[in-house]
Amino acid sequence: MKTKRADSNKSGPVTLARVAKLAGVSPSTVSRILNGTAVVSEEKRKSIDEAIAKLGFIPNPVARGLAGGRTLSIGVVTQAIDSPFYGPALRGIEDELDSAGYSPLFVSAHWDPVSEARCIDVLRSRRVDGLIVLNGSLSDQALKATAKHLPIVVTGRAIKGPGLFALNFDNYTGGLLATEHLVALGHRRIAFITGDAAHPDANERFRGYTDALKKAGIAFDPQLVMPGDYQVITGQQATEKLLSSRRKFTALFAANDQMAYGAALCLHRKGLRIPQDVSLIGFDDLSHSLYAAPPLSTIHQPAYELGRLTASSILQMLAGNKPTSVMPGPELIVRDSTAKA
């Protein structure tokens, strides 16, 4: 005799109610074992598990969100979804959340506070359970206000408060390390290309540079400092200005790798060799830097790790615990773009 195909895709969606009926229990009981909300007799649990498997039941996060106020999704405010620096961080967030059954909801704020506020509104309207804000430009106050409604993890600033956790990278020490490396190689005339002054981390890196100079007894020369804004093109322009100013320098420290790429291009065009004529060091350790020609010395920032840490922190907060994650410190990566003076 033929058996009817036990098909999970019968008419209509497979709901919790159908599971309950098949298992011969009430919907509440099914919900309970799904969420571990209460202890259920071993017997029923088994029949429910079977029914779930048989039907191929998958809980509907949308309904879940409406009813329980949880959506199992975390809003992630990034400044640009295609940033070479944040890319690995996003991947880290995705990996970490995924293993906990959560999904990230990425939005780009484009370094604009207004847009960032809008992003957060969108995310809240979608009822995300928590928020990760990567180097946001919103005021601390605004952040604290929304932290009253849902837990937030931020990077790129030091801030504390209920429902708020900050994960910050030590840019100052990074700037110090890079400069000290150059000094150790015998360089005395070290130029610097700054990042966007609006970014706190850019200023920290600069402070590391000046302090390292001071420590080494090297007079700070403002003429060797050129403004940039973290974009490749400004690194190139700054280097051009530096070169045309005729101010001598044997090493160049760019506040991030991207500007270092621009600097490298400019030096290349002027026929200057790296590192024979000019030593070059960046900051961030973008994945490409390993393959630049020549491979770029830089300060490593653990972007992927940062992503995982922000995600696990928000997960901890959601579980009612205080996050304990600590950012790894900066690390000097010596490749081929720096050499003895």
Told to check if 334 binds a second copy by CB under 8 A, we report no
Told to check if 197 binds a second copy by CB under 8 A, we report no
4 conformational bin, left if phi > 0, alpha if psi -120 to 50, beta if neither? beta
Told to check if 6 binds DNA by CB under 7 A, we report yes
Q: Are 316 and 331 in contact (CB under 8 A)?
A: no
Told to check if 292 binds a second copy by CB under 8 A, we report yes
With contacts defined by CB under 8 A, how many residues of the chain interact with a second copy?
A: 47
Q: Which of a second copy, DNA, none does residue 90 bind (CB under 5 to 8 Å by kind)? A: a second copy
Told to check if 53 binds DNA by CB under 7 A, we report no
φ/ψ of 186, rounded to 5, equals 100, 5
Residues 16, 32, 79, 88: which binds a second copy (CB under 8 A)?
A: 88
Told to check if 206 binds a second copy by CB under 8 A, we report no
Question: Contact region for a second copy (CB under 8 A) — 15-23, 102-110, 176-184, 203-211?
Answer: 102-110
Q: Are 327 and 170 in contact (CB under 8 A)?
A: yes
Told to check if 272 binds DNA by CB under 7 A, we report no
Residues 46, 49, 50, 63: which binds DNA (CB under 7 A)?
A: 63
Nearer residue to DNA within complex by CB, 37 or 245: 37
Q: Which residues contact 99 (CB under 8 A, 6 or more apart)?
A: none
φ/ψ of 143, rounded to 5, equals -65, -45
Told to check if 236 binds a second copy by CB under 8 A, we report yes
At residue 32, the 3 state secondary structure works out as helix
For the chain, percent helix, then strand, then coil, each to nearest 5? Answer: 45, 15, 40
With contacts defined by CB under 7 A, how many residues of the chain interact with DNA?
A: 37
Told to check if 35 binds DNA by CB under 7 A, we report yes
Question: Contact region for DNA (CB under 7 A) — 37-45, 160-168, 188-196, 243-251?
Answer: 37-45
* 225-226: strand order across its sheet: 225-226, 190-193, 251-254, 279-281
Residues 142, 265, 318, 332: which binds a second copy (CB under 8 A)?
A: 265
Cα separation of 1 and 233, whole Å? 75
Burial of 277 (0-12, 13-18, 19+ CB in 10 A): exposed
Residues 15, 40, 45, 80: which binds a second copy (CB under 8 A)?
A: 80
Q: Are 39 and 94 in contact (CB under 8 A)?
A: no
Cα separation of 262 and 260, whole Å? 5
Which residues form the interface with a second copy (CB under 8 A)? 6, 58-63, 65-66, 69, 71, 73, 80-84, 87-88, 90-91, 94, 103-108, 121-122, 125-127, 232-233, 236, 261-262, 264-265, 268, 288, 291-295
Which residues form the interface with DNA (CB under 7 A)? 2-6, 8, 12-13, 15-17, 24-29, 31-32, 34-35, 37-41, 43-44, 57, 59-60, 63-64, 66-69
